[in-house]
Every structure is written in C-alpha cells, then in structure tokens.
Amino acid sequence: MVVCGVDVGSRTAEAVVLVDGDIAGYSVIRTGPDSAATAVAALEQALRATSIRSEDIEFTVATGYGRVVVPFAQRNVTEIACHARGSHHLRPSTRTILDMGGQDCKAIRCDERGKVTTFLMNDKCAAGTGRAIEVMASLLQVPLETVGPLSLDAEGRAATISSTCVVFAKSEVLALARQGVPTAEILAGICDGVAERVKGLLRGVGVVEDFVISGGISKNVGVVRRLERTLGVTSHVCFEPQIVGALGAALFARDFLERASAERPGPSVPCAPAASR
C-alpha cells in the first residue's frame, strides 16, 4: 500500500510517502507562490531517492494552509489533526503537541489514539512564529540554525525586547545592535519572547506529558530549552520535526484507503483526485 501526505505550509512544504506503513521517502522544500506547484515539487523530491513513481501512489491527503489546492490529493485534513496523528504515531505516549510553524503556532491535546481533543492557535500576528525568528536572524546576519545555540550562550543576560509585533521588534533589535548589545543577548531576548508567547497557548490547553514539539522552530534549541524550563516538562522532538504534519496526512491517507478497500473489496486501484471539500 503506497500512500502520500503533503503539508503545504506558509514557509515550507513537506511530502511523506509511506509504503506499507513505513516511510519510504520524504522532502522538505521552500513554499513558492504557487501552492499547487509547490506540492508537486515536494512530492517529486520525496520520490527522488526511491523507486516509487507518482502513479504508484494510491491515496494522498493534503494538509497545511495550501491543502485545498493540492491537485493530486483525494482528501484534505487540517494540520491540527495531522500533527497530532504524526506525533502520536512516532511516540504513542504523546498527549500534548506544540506545532511551531512558519506562520502560526498550535497547542494541541490528543487522546490515547492520537485524536485531537482540543487545540488553541495563536492569532494572525507573526509574533511567536518561525517567520519572526527568520526575520531577526536575517537582520542580525546570523545563520538560522545558530540562533538557538547562540541564545543559550547568553542565558540570564537576555536583552529586553518589549514589542510583540515583529515589525516594531525589528526596530528594537536594530537599536540594540547599534548600542553594541552582544548578538547572543539579543537572540536570547528573541527566544525568550517566543517561548513566553507560546507558553500562554500551552497553558490554555493544559500540558500533559508526553509533550512533543513539531514544526520548524522545534529545531531551535534556544526556544525548546526555555519552554521546557518555564513549563517544567521535558519535550520530545522527532528526527525531522518538519515532516510530522505530512506524516500524519499520510497516515490518514492509509486509513482512508483501508476504509475504501474494506467497503469495496477487490483489487486496489489508484483513486482519481476528488474536489477538495
């Protein structure tokens, strides 16, 4: 059984291909202006190192903000459900998920089957999102992957950044840099701010362990450590936290296909794309 999950987010898109429940290939690419083309590119890249052809895929579920325009998906499911499903699959004891994406953050609680029981999302503002960290890293000319480790070098000496709004925070960060405040201290202030905002969301749903963080920001050790400390819990991050949503989508695809097969016994055939709901 070959199924696919595609997660078209605001900053990145991911595809995961499962063969009989095992990950056969996956990809993480930048989202372009055309979500449909991005989804196709993500799938092509996921298949590149495999012998699977796109026509071998029997069912595809799309998720993410671009989920309704993925041309080859038969169904779409929200990333709320997909991140819960993916996290639960990788770690069945998962009960709380924090998906820290490029455009928004979601605090999600799930049950013992990985089904969402409640969730909270941040509002539309970019504060507390991956995009905010990207903007600041670019402003300070620091590689994105070094933001977290550098911020930990200045623990206890974090610069105060009072603006929640990314646009205003940029001005504050520039002013701090001009005053000669060390970059690590500014980054510590940025990571403190992100952790603080996300904490409110998590408290809203209530953190029950195991606590899993998915999405791009989970690669930022500065934010993750601060969150763990402030919440008093240990977090778990999978080998590639950006594909958790796409993995969840692929698992839903498997479910849909199994259900369809059970309802219509006979040889498995690729499903024609259906109109997105």
Partner 1 sequence: MAVPDLKTIQKKVTAGASYRKLVAAAEAGQPICVACAGVPNEVMHAMGVFPIYPESLAAISAGIGKAGPFFEEARARGLSSVICSYTRCGLGICWTRESAFGPLPPPTLAIADVNFCSLHGTWWRYLEEHFGLPTCYVDMPATDDPDAPGYVEYYERQIEAMVEFFERHTACRLETDRLHEAVKQSDRAGFYWKTIMELRRQRPSPVSFRALAGQILPMVISLGDPDAADYYEALHAQYVEDAKEGKTPAKGGERYRLIWNGIPIWHHLQLINYFEERGANFVWEPYTSLNWGNKTKTGRLDLDRPFHTLAEKYTNVITNKTIARRFAYFDEAIRDYAVDGLVMFSNRSCRPMSIGQHELIELIQERHDLPVLIFEGDQADAEGFNWDDARMRIDGFIEVLEGRAARRRG
Binding interface with partner 1 (CB under 8 A) = 65, 77-81, 104, 111, 115-121, 123-125
Exposed, middle or buried, 38 (CB in 10 Å: 0-12/13-18/19+)? buried
Name the residue nearer to partner 1 (CB basis): 68 or 177: 68
Structure tokens at 71: 């041309």
3 state SS of 73: coil
Strands 105-110 and 59-63: unpaired
CB of 162 to partner 1, least distance (A): 17
Name the residue nearer to partner 1 (CB basis): 31 or 78: 78
- Name the phi and psi angles at 157, rounded to 5: -125, 25
Can you list the alpha helix ranges (DSSP code H) found in 103-146? Answer: 130-139
Name the residue nearer to partner 1 (CB basis): 113 or 178: 113
Reference 61, options 256, 228, 194; nearest CA is: 256
CB of 182 to partner 1, least distance (A): 35
CB of 176 to partner 1, least distance (A): 26
Identify the H or E element spanning 170. helix 166-178
Name the residue nearer to partner 1 (CB basis): 68 or 144: 68
DSSP character at residue 239:
S
Structure tokens at 157: 């000496």
CB of 113 to partner 1, least distance (A): 9
Name the residue nearer to partner 1 (CB basis): 39 or 187: 39
CB of 277 to partner 1, least distance (A): 9
